[in-house]
Each structure stands twice: as structure tokens, then as C-alpha cells.
Chain A
């Protein structure tokens, strides 16, 4: 084969490859606008694997997981009503060595992350360091410790007055952990971390409410109906994984109680204004949480039981 023919062949193959790559990229990209808004069923899995595969798309799973509210909002509410800090309400950081499976490590990473945020918010430096160590240990065990900037957080926690920076960095690090787990297709661990964090925040809210009997706390307890439904939707995707069935069953029991809670909405048009170059929109739709004492009590009791199982797992 002469040199000219070889050069032409190489040229043609390059062009073919480029065209193929471009078509492939465009085809993949073209699916994405819809994939965030629709429940996309995975393409024709074979019969044997169908039972094991999630029936909703990875994008949708990631989107729902991303929407689960951060426990830090609840921690702010608890502090905002003037509740005192009580470390004995939080999970004992010394229990960290008891968590030996990926399941218990991920759930308790969530629990300790909420506790870390709580201690951060109250500027309790020694507790921050203790919970930071617990979080670091579990993150290392799960192979995601490198995404947690332990050194900087430790430095910030070593002196007072860094609450805002600590909260921000902790939140960012947790988000990184979630993103990397999702990229590594380990979303089942992400949902466990989120569930653990959510259960701990709800547990702390119910605990404080038992003493304070505060309307804002009761409303927040009732509002968790929405987050619980999202969590159950995602957990159900991984129901065949070890230990998930028990957790799902427990949360479904909790959901039964939540079915009595109502969120009523009176719709109003939002009003918008520009103040100092900032768009400020006032929501005129108002929601009311309808939850009675018996429901609050039942939720309090059930959450305590679920949380105990998690921290003893």
C-alpha cells in the first residue's frame, strides 16, 4: 500500500471517528433536558436483571435526593426558638467504632453530620471536634474521606467565632460527598446518609418539642411528611439491598402516621419588587399544617424507635 493511500485512509478514519463521536455526544446530550423533568424508565433491561434494577432514571434519583431538605434548616429553627444545647440529645460520638457495615456507617454518617451541624451552630468547639472525628472516620471507612476537608474544618473549630464558615464548609463538604458517591454509582449510600441525617434532625425536633411544645416546631414536624415521601421513593429503588427492607418498613410505619397530617394551602399571587438592585418576591400562598397532639406524640415515639435502631445498628 502506497503512502498516499495510507494517509487518505487515516484521514477518512479520523473523520468517521469524529463524526461518530459527535453524533454520540449529541445523542446523549439531547436526552438530558427531559431527563430532569420526567420519570424516565431505564431502557429495556433483560428479564433477569429487571427485578434488580431501579425503575426510575439515575437523573431522577439524583434530583429527588438533591431536593431532600438539609437538616441544617431544622437546626436553625431549634436554636431560633431558644432551645438550649444539650449534647446528651445527640448520638454519642464514641459509638463510631461500633458501625462496621457500609449500611450502618452510611446511616450514622448522616446522623453525625446533623449532630456536627448542630454543635457548629451552637459554637460548641469540643463537640464539633468530636463529631468531626466521627464523621471523618465513617467517611474514611466508606472510601470518601478525601472529599471531607477535615484539616480546614478542624482549624476553624479550634477557635470560637467561626460558626458561619464552619457551617458553610461542612455543608459544602457533605454536598461533595453526595456528588462523588453519585458519580461512583453508589447512590444507595447517599440515600442512607440523607436518611440518617433527616431522622436525626426530626428526632431532635421532637425531643425539643416535648419540652417546649412550640407551634413552629410542631409545624416543622408536620412538614416532614413531604421529605419522608421523597426518602421512601428513593429507598424503594434500592429495596433489594441488604438491610433496606427493615428501614423501609419502619419508615412506612412512620408514613402511616403522617398520612393523618394535612398541609392545606391558600393560593395567592406573589408580589415582586426590586430593592437596591435585588429582586425580592413575597409569597402570598400560605400553607397551614394540620397536626393534632396525638399525631405529634405518635411521630415522636416512632422516630425515637427508628433512630435508636439506627444508632445501635
Chain B
């Protein structure tokens, strides 16, 4: 019996590790890809991890401060390929939708927002028909 328990205990870390591997999302790799998609003239400012934990996490929200008279560009890359399965919605401080990369049912690689009002904004990531629930986005700015 003791032998059996020892063997089981030895197996536990491997079992836990195996489960952990399935849950992992290499957001940094997708962030690098998204960075390459940022148009010339835009300077990288932040990256956002979009890890839906295999569908357990439905929404991932980040707060940001945008400055007026500045253009912001968001680029998304995910495990499903490009922005597929990931919806990035920009909300104002009243949580009113300003823009999204999912327009009229079509998915776009991101969006450009010409900001004229300094303040707090929210970038809300959600998933639509996603298979991987995994990706990243980068934000660039241009004055």
C-alpha cells in the first residue's frame, strides 16, 4: 500500500503539469506577431495578453488613458490565425462602445481610433467562435 501511495504521489506533479500545459497560452509570441502588423508611423506603447483560459474566462478588460489629438491603432493576433475568434471593443468611461474590430459580422485585424478627448477608456476583449481562446494585442500611437 505504501509503495502504491509513493508511486501515486510521484505521479501528482506530472499530472498537474500536464493539465497546466493544456491551459497555457503563449501570449508573448502573438504579441510579437501583432507588433509586426502595426502600421508604419505608429509607435508601440503597450501589449495586452488575451488568454481566455480555454474558454473559462469570457471577457478580459484593460483600462487605458488616451490623449486627445492622438491616433491609436490596435492590432490583434491569436492562435486561431490573425484576429479570428477575438473581438476587441473600445469603450469610453461611461462604457459606451466606440469601436470594435468585429463590424457587421466581419472580423478585422484591429482598429484605428482618432482620439479627441483625453480620458480613461477600456479595451474589452471577448471571444466569438474561438477555438483557442488565446492571443494578444498591441497598441501603437501616432500624433
Q: A25 to B46, Cβ gap below 8 A?
A: no
Contacts of A167 in B (CB 8 A): 43-44
Query: Bound complex: CA of A36 vs CA of B62, how far in Å?
Result: 7
Residue of B nearest to A9 (CB): B4
Asked if A245 is an interface residue, CB under 8 A from chain B, the answer is no
Residue of B nearest to A279 (CB): B111
Q: A32-B53, A76-B43, A287-B117 are in contact. Are A14 and B8 (CB under 8 A)?
A: yes
Contacts of A172 in B (CB 8 A): 35, 44, 47
Contacts of A37 in B (CB 8 A): 59, 61
Q: A287 to B114, Cβ gap below 8 A?
A: no
Interface on chain A toward B: helix, strand, loop, or mixed SS? helix
The smallest beta-carbon distance between B26 and chain A, in angstroms, is 14
8 Å CB contact of A21 from B1, B16, B68, B118: B16
Query: Bound complex: CA of A263 vs CA of B117, how far in Å?
Result: 9
Q: B57 to A18, Cβ gap below 8 A?
A: no
Contacts of A220 in B (CB 8 A): 67
Contact mask for chain B residues 94-111; partner A; CB cutoff 8 A; 1 contact, 0 none: 000011110100001011
Q: B98 to A73, Cβ gap below 8 A?
A: no
Q: B61 to A36, Cβ gap below 8 A?
A: yes
Query: Bound complex: CA of A72 vs CA of B143, how far in Å?
Result: 12
- Total count of chain A residues near the partner, CB < 8 A: 60
Q: A272-B99, A279-B112 are in contact. Are A10 and B61 (CB under 8 A)?
A: no
Contacts of A64 in B (CB 8 A): 63
Q: A280 to B119, Cβ gap below 8 A?
A: no
Q: A281 to B98, Cβ gap below 8 A?
A: yes
Q: A17-B12, A29-B53, A66-B62 are in contact. Are A282 and B43 (CB under 8 A)?
A: no
| Nearest 10 A/B pairs, CB to CB | A29-B56, A281-B99, A287-B117, A67-B63, A279-B111, A285-B117, A283-B116, A6-B4, A36-B61, A223-B118
* Inter-chain pairs besides A67-B65, A73-B45, A286-B116, 7 sampled, C-beta below 8 Å: A10-B7, A10-B8, A14-B8, A37-B59, A66-B46, A175-B47, A223-B67
Interface residues of B (CB under 8 A from A): 1, 3-5, 7-8, 11-12, 15-16, 19, 23, 35, 43-47, 53, 56-65, 67-70, 90, 92, 98-101, 103, 108, 110-120, 141, 143
